[in-house]
Structure 1
């Protein structure tokens, strides 16, 4: 952790606990956890992530990205990735703050800024950039609202706008502006991704993705793979397995019930793919996960 982020960390620690938690500020979340021994699948939403303590590395295709408190990460899409977190240098826990992006708000802010001529297709849907004093100061003003919850309805939207404005001014401003452009390639793939997430329990119909994105089959496949690292079918499988894990962690369903609820027609196929994804069969994986965070009572 850099010394400049100590006020941010103090605020975050006052308003979180082990695991991931929403906050009183819309779309703002705080995560705290211990180092993991290896990489594990995770789902990144369309968001900005600021690490306050520790570090993390994520893999998208063959690209391995590592960031810490001196950097922030921009994810333009909901992306199934592999990640590994690391504690701070003194063994202190990993702490991060994320802000889920609102495309309409980004578009509104971008419309007030000088227009730029840019290529339609971004080079990547995920990027890391060095933290700057203006971004750091704007983030602190947003986090400070957690100490004065009565101020949140009026002041938090202003602080969020300032933070997004500073990010739009930075090197990843181009990627953020692409999020705000529904007619661009990124905007079209975002719609396809949202359709898959909303219908992950149904048989994937490429025609439906073409309709919702406004792209041809060839264009959809090319841009989808370029931005997510996966084909639409592979992406759906990842989303299904992530959804299944969440249901199993809730503890209310058997593995076979969960398999059918997320769209699998075969419980045995589900178990095989779950094992490949998470490194253990469903029931054992959930038991190990709960033991790691001190939760018992697994059936």
Structure 2
């Protein structure tokens, strides 16, 4: 029922629903996607299949499964199964940290292990899918959104907290230093991605030893701090070059590279082709264009 409801209302690749932070996604053919920075979110696939590369981990998820992320993650994805008759369909909710924190006051749940990663895939329960359906049904009653959407969002979050992804979701609003300090480090790296940093500085600011900081950081993101910054730089560069093709040297400098040859080498290693050729191919073949910076297009 939810799949049919969503498919009837999906207009193009991305459909804004009028419900705060809730979107519908539809793709009609298998495709590689732009590298993206996923903000903390949950997405539920209703039809089709998606593959994500996060760090060195490859994750597939399909109809009836949810993907959840508690921190900003550099991700490369592809739609594996989709067609005009059976399009990839998904719904997505970007998290409101304050709402999750409020829920945790009433239902704190068990302590979260420092070994818990910041992302996972799991099957959605019938109760969770039902809550999603009632949330999306507000598209037919827009005058009820202001009152009902926050209540239904709380229910979706509550179902997630009580399910197998609860430990990951608790990280979004956790006041535990292990998670809050990593969140702060991620914010700094995303904001100042073009600035050179030393791991010891980040570790000191996080009140951790360098080894403990690196271990916790990689558990959260699947990447070392240096790898994380490099991906942010290259993802941002690709989006900039898509908007301003031909200005490779200026873009390399803007994202923090002092050497054009190093930038070109690392760009080609990440995306399979040198910058100019990659962007030329991308502009010719991409069905969707680049997402806005920090805005996951096909979560």
- TM tier relative to shorter chain: 0.7 to 0.9
2:106 is the alignment partner of 1:112: yes
SS in 1 for 2:106: coil
Deviation per residue, 1:59-95 (Å, 9 max, x gap):
3355432111111111122222332212247753322
**Greater CA deviation, 119-128 or 265-274?**
119-128
Change (3 A) 1:23 1:242: farther
Deviation per residue, 1:31-76 (Å, 9 max, x gap):
3335446687443332111112211122335543211111111112
Deviation per residue, 1:175-206 (Å, 9 max, x gap):
21122213242332122111100110111233
Partner of 2:79: 85
2:108 is the alignment partner of 1:125: no
What is the TM-score with the length of structure 1 in the denominator?
Answer: 0.85
Contact 1:138-1:159 at 8 Å conserved across structures: yes
**Greater CA deviation, 78-87 or 132-141?**
78-87
Contact 2:6-2:24 at 8 Å conserved across structures: no
SS in 1 for 2:164: coil
Gaps of 5+ in 2: 290-299
Contact 1:120-1:185 at 8 Å conserved across structures: no
- The 1-side partners of 2:54 and 2:160 are apart by 22
Gaps of 5+ in 1: none
SS in 2 for 1:65: strand
Higher normalized contact order (CA 8 Å, seq sep 6+, divided by chain length): 2
Change (3 A) 1:171 1:97: same
Matches within 5 A, 1:1-299: 4-11=2-9, 13=10, 16-18=11-13, 20=14, 23-36=17-30, 41-88=35-82, 92-113=86-107, 115-251=108-244, 254-293=247-286
What is the TM-score with the length of structure 2 in the denominator?
Answer: 0.85
Deviation per residue, 1:250-277 (Å, 9 max, x gap):
2377122211111111222212211111
What's the C-alpha RMSD, in Å, of the aligned pairs? 2.7
Deviation per residue, 1:130-174 (Å, 9 max, x gap):
111111111122222334444333332222112111111111112
Change (3 A) 1:37 1:166: closer
Contact 1:40-1:278 at 8 Å conserved across structures: no
Shift of 1:288: 2.0
